[in-house]
Amino acid sequence: MNKKSYFLMKSNSLAISAISATLLLFLILMPSAKAENVITTGTTLKVLPGTSLVSVESLVIKTGAALENAGTLILKKNLTNENASPNSLGAGTAEMSGSTSQSITGQNVIQHLTVNNATGLNIGGNTTVNGNLTMTNGKVSLGDNNLVLGPLAVIVGTPSAAVMIVVTGTGELRHEFPAGFTGTYTYPVGDDTGTPEYSPVTLVFTGGIFAVGNYVGVDLKNEKYNDPTITGNYLNRYWKLTGFGAAGLVCNATFQYLVTDVVGTESKLSCTQVDPFPWTTYGPANSATHLLSANGLTSFGSFTGLKSTTTPLNQQLANVIIPNGTTTCYDAQQILTVAGNGTTFLVENNGSITLVAGLKISMLNGTKVNNGGFLLGRITTTSDFCGSLLNPLVASNDNKEALGVETIIKSQFIKVYPNPTTDLVVVELVDGGTTANVTVYSMQGGKLYQKELNGENKYQFSLAGRPVGIYMVRVQSGDRAEIAKVVKN
């Protein structure tokens, strides 16, 4: 025999018992009425380092029994642990490598777990893996149970639709993190509803303190998020992130979806946190890579991709970038909030966005429009939300005060006067002569005037012959952009 010892338990039925409470690489085998291998109450089965134990039949650990595996336990069928509380199976490796579907049942703490079964592994009780989870072949289905990866756990292998963790029940794939963890972690999750589909979640942590026993968990559904106001453009997929024991959390999240998930037009989708309410919308979907991104998360919830044709009641735009060449529109039946609370909103050069609300648009600290970018906001009283350019903007300033006919964003570097006016309007740069771009828009959003100021601190234009109403003046200077409203009597 070579250096390893192999114990093949393959009689019709075997019960593992012992003369004393510990078995050290020798077995006393007793017939049993069941076709399974049983570690009986009061018995400890030990697998020493450097040795392998092969169980051809299912292995059962009875209440009050123990398995101390310091080598390799190769299971061809199921593992059942009847101990009521979480039970460590030792510092070795448990390998699930049967030819038919296998299961791990009970409250198990496993150091290293290898999955090498093309027909799959079912988790029938909460299971913790503290070392390597080696995914060689087959899917791991959680059902309504959690699979917890300890702070030092590592997933080994190349996940795919054939090699992944299925999290479509109420069970979550959870990972504990070291106290000061920063960096990237990918959850290799997907669904097996009909066609197996791999749709992982990647989290990049930039801040947070993780307490002992913490976790961040993921599950998903291969269906539309259950909200009747989501219509038109959406994904038949959503992910739920949960967390426990993390303070000061800051992370960026990406969600991989499939083209077959898309209903409507993919290029219209944005990553949206649909729970908790109200919706928080992040950046547009990347239709080339089929990725959703939510940057700057400080809490968790449910995420999907959508651009609903039913306008949400309220909506916040957080850490959104409107890229060069992108034109889009966001709306809310009542209040549309832009940036604030440490988040940002950026319109890049040649990006264009229209904001529409039924009551108020709040553009808070963190809102920025780069030179050459375009932002138009309007209030609608006729429910003509994204799609037409009517009615002037009513917003709030950084202190969330409704401004009505006052300056749209509390002015810091421009003055616009006289206001109201019957003809001439002067735009003055408070900081004095600098480089700035001044654009004047009509009530319908059409561009009336545009002037580049180079060293000048004033620009004058005329509204003579223009209809009575409200006009907008937008001034861009470096990384600052301000909008003011001018009333013509």
What Cα–Cα distance (Å) separates residue 61 from each residue in 9, 23, 41, 298? 15, 14, 8, 42
pLDDT at 443: 63
Closest CA to 253 of 155, 172, 157, 187: 187
d(CA 82, CA 2): 34
pLDDT at 412: 59
pLDDT(359) > 50: yes
pLDDT in tens, 96-117: 999 999 999 999 999 999 999 9
What Cα–Cα distance (Å) separates residue 469 from each residue in 411, 420, 422, 441, 488? 21, 10, 10, 12, 5
DSSP 386: T
Residue 228 is assigned to a structural domain of this protein:
no
Q: Which residue has the higher pLDDT, 52 or 477?
A: 52
d(CA 54, CA 75): 6
Triad 288, 290, 294: Cα angle to 5°:
115
Which structural domain range is residue 462 located in? 414-488
Residue 438 is assigned to a structural domain of this protein:
yes
pLDDT(2) > 50: no
The token pair at 193 is: 């509803």
> pLDDT band for position 37 (50/70/90)?
very high
d(CA 331, CA 343): 18
Residue 190 is assigned to a structural domain of this protein:
no
pLDDT in tens, 323-339: 888 888 999 999 999 99
By CB atoms closer than 10 A (0-12, 13-18, 19+), residue 371 is middle
The arithmetic mean of pLDDT across residues 138-159, rounded, is: 97
pLDDT(444) > 90: no
Please state the length of the chain.
489
pLDDT at 314: 94
> pLDDT band for position 10 (50/70/90)?
very low
Residue 424 is assigned to a structural domain of this protein:
yes
pLDDT(9) > 70: no
3-state secondary structure of 261: helix
List of residues 6+ apart from 205 with CB closer than 8 A: 177, 181, 182, 183, 184, 185, 249, 250, 251
pLDDT at 336: 93
Report the chain's mean pLDDT, rounded to a whole number: 86
pLDDT(23) > 80: no
The arithmetic mean of pLDDT across residues 362-389, rounded, is: 81
The arithmetic mean of pLDDT across residues 273-285, rounded, is: 94
Here the CATH number for the domain that contains residue 482 is: 2.60.40.3080
Residue 152 is assigned to a structural domain of this protein:
no
Per the structure, how many domains does the chain have?
Answer: 1
pLDDT at 479: 61
pLDDT in tens, 452-487: 988 888 999 999 988 887 788 888 877 666 777 788
> pLDDT band for position 349 (50/70/90)?
confident
Closest CA to 414 of 472, 367, 482, 462: 482
Residue 181 is assigned to a structural domain of this protein:
no
pLDDT at 44: 95
pLDDT at 74: 97
DSSP 366: T
pLDDT(195) > 70: yes
Residue type, 337: T
List of residues 6+ apart from 362 with CB closer than 8 A: 335, 336, 337, 338, 340, 395, 396, 400
